[in-house]
């Protein structure tokens, strides 16, 4: 994976507020030697490893593993501040799945449309819950390791701009009480190639709409008709990115992202994909170019853990909120702290039934 120039300015404070209007605040600037790659299609890493486990074999895994970039996610996270695993959750694992859109044409200051998801894999690896945290959720962000930013309340995605992946981990753990075991990241810019390597994905569009922020198409406009359709990579990316066409803005975007994740998993786990070394190879190459994981993640172990997962035992939820509101001059997502605490307590104790109940109440 090619690193960008060390002088690239990265910032993940929203360039647009929760209701889709331009933000009036400026993001702090942060230099990074590694390009910002954080995940949207969050199950891409498990998909790669599922395919490898079933088709590829150890040597091929080693080859792919060498091409997947690594990030230092935990060194700067103070152990004293971290939640501990509950005894009932021994064997369960929690992945922080992050995503950024480095091709967003509306961004001129380095910040990107981003996604934050906790993937909880239960202790017998029979099912996983993916809980999206809206990027504009108003939370407390601890002080960054450099001491310049943080120790204040802000939108949750400000954490990356202020302190990189470690501060995101610390912020999410502080908000949820859930200990993060691993981090997976992907850059949206490679999303198109991943979907195209699958031969497209099938999406049932909930309502007709026109995106005026499309990455392809005349004048950046793309129309989506209601109903099921096969989308290529460009169309799926535009579908998963759009938020301005909907009254509920980012919440609609989250629903569409979850649709696309499920569609990718269905297609990647199909007999056609796993039975074709050429198709699998194209998929793995495309994904390895966009994915980053934490330094402690063993890809072979993960492949074995996730090899049985399919869309039928993945469950998608959104962290409870009270909708949007204004704090100062910012439009934000207001968390429902009582319901969120109950939900994440169920995650922390690996209580699948409680997670399903609390997430849908």
Query: Does residue 108 surpass a pLDDT of 90?
Result: no
How far out from the chain centre does Cα 271 lie? 26
**Per residue in 285-295, pLDDT tens?**
777 777 788 99
Query: Does residue 345 surpass a pLDDT of 60?
Result: yes
Classify residue 84: in a domain, yes or no.
yes
Lowest-confidence region among 34-43, 73-82, 106-115 = 34-43
Counting the structural domains of the chain, the total is 1
d(CA 54, CA 174): 37
248: CB partners within 8 A, 6+ apart:
none
- Please choose, from the candidates 72, 69, 117, the residue with its C-alpha nearest in 3D space to the C-alpha of residue 291: 69
| DSSP-assigned states of every residue in 238-254 | HHHH--TTSTTTHHHHH
- Kindly report the backbone phi and psi dihedral angles of residue 212, in degrees, each rounded to the nearest multiple of 5, phi listed first: -105, 10
If pLDDT is split at 50, 70 and 90, which confidence band does 214 have?
Answer: confident
Residue found under tokens 């070394």: 277
**Per residue in 1-28, pLDDT tens?**
333 332 222 233 334 455 444 454 444 4
Classify residue 73: in a domain, yes or no.
yes
| pLDDT, position 55 | 41
361: CB partners within 8 A, 6+ apart:
339
Most confident of 104-113, 269-278, 324-333: 324-333
The length of the chain is: 361
| pLDDT, position 48 | 45
| pLDDT, position 248 | 87
If pLDDT is split at 50, 70 and 90, which confidence band does 30 have?
Answer: very low
Query: Does residue 298 surpass a pLDDT of 60?
Result: yes
**Per residue in 124-150, pLDDT tens?**
888 889 999 999 999 999 999 989 999
Classify residue 18: in a domain, yes or no.
yes
Mean pLDDT of 336-351: 97
| pLDDT, position 27 | 42
**Per residue in 169-212, pLDDT tens?**
999 999 999 999 999 887 766 678 888 888 899 999 999 999 98
| pLDDT, position 354 | 95
Q: Does residue 189 sit in helix, strand or coil?
A: helix
- Tokens encoding 88: 């009932």
How far out from the chain centre does Cα 281 lie? 23
204 touches 228 (CB < 8 A): yes
d(CA 201, CA 262): 9
| CATH value at residue 292 | 3.30.420.590
Query: Does residue 316 surpass a pLDDT of 80?
Result: yes
| pLDDT, position 195 | 87
| pLDDT, position 249 | 83
Classify residue 30: in a domain, yes or no.
yes
Classify residue 303: in a domain, yes or no.
yes
Classify residue 69: in a domain, yes or no.
yes
Q: Which residues of 19-52 are buried (b: 16+ CB within 10 A; e: fewer)?
A: bbeebeeebeebebebbbbbbbbbbbbbbbbbbb
Classify residue 19: in a domain, yes or no.
yes
Q: What is the span of the domain harbouring residue 89?
A: 9-191+272-360
- Mean pLDDT for all residues in the chain: 77
d(CA 182, CA 279): 28
- Please choose, from the candidates 311, 280, 290, the residue with its C-alpha nearest in 3D space to the C-alpha of residue 199: 280
């Amino acid at each position: 994976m090619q690193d960008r120039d060390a002088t690239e300015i990265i910032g993940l404070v929203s360039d647009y507020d929760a209701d889709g209007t331009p933000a009036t605040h400026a993001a702090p600037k942060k230099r990074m030697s590694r390009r910002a790659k954080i995940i949207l299609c969050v199950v891409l890493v498990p998909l790669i490893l599922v395919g490898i486990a079933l088709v590829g074999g150890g040597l091929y895994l080693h080859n792919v593993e060498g091409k997947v970039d690594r990030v230092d996610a935990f060194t700067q996270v103070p152990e004293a501040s971290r939640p501990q695993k509950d005894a009932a959750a021994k064997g369960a694992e929690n992945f922080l799945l992050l995503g950024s859109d480095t091709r967003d044409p509306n961004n001129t200051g380095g910040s990107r449309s981003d996604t934050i998801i906790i993937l909880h894999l239960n202790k017998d690896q029979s099912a996983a819950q993916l809980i999206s945290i809206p990027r504009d959720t108003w939370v407390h962000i601890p002080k960054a390791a450099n001491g310049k930013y943080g120790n204040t309340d802000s939108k949750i995605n400000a954490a990356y701009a202020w302190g990189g992946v470690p501060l995101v981990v610390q912020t999410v753990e502080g908000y949820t009480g859930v200990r993060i075991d691993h981090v997976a990241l992907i850059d949206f810019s490679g999303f198109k190639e991943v979907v195209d390597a699958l031969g497209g994905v099938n999406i049932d569009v909930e309502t007709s709409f026109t995106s005026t922020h499309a990455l392809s198409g005349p004048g950046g406009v793309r129309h989506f008709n209601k109903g099921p359709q096969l989308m290529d990579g460009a169309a799926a990316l535009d579908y998963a990115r759009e938020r301005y066409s909907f009254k509920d803005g980012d919440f609609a975007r989250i629903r569409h992202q979850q649709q696309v994740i499920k569609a990718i998993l269905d297609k990647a786990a199909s007999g056609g994909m796993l039975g074709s070394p050429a198709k699998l190879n194209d998929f793995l190459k495309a994904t390895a170019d966009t994915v980053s994981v934490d330094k402690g993640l063993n890809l072979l172990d993960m492949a074995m853990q996730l090899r049985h997962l399919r869309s039928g035992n993945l469950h998608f939820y959104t962290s409870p909120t009270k909708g949007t509101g204004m704090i100062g001059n910012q439009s934000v997502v207001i968390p429902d702290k009582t319901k969120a605490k109950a939900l994440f307590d169920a995650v922390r104790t690996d209580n699948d039934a409680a997670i399903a109940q609390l997430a849908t109440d």
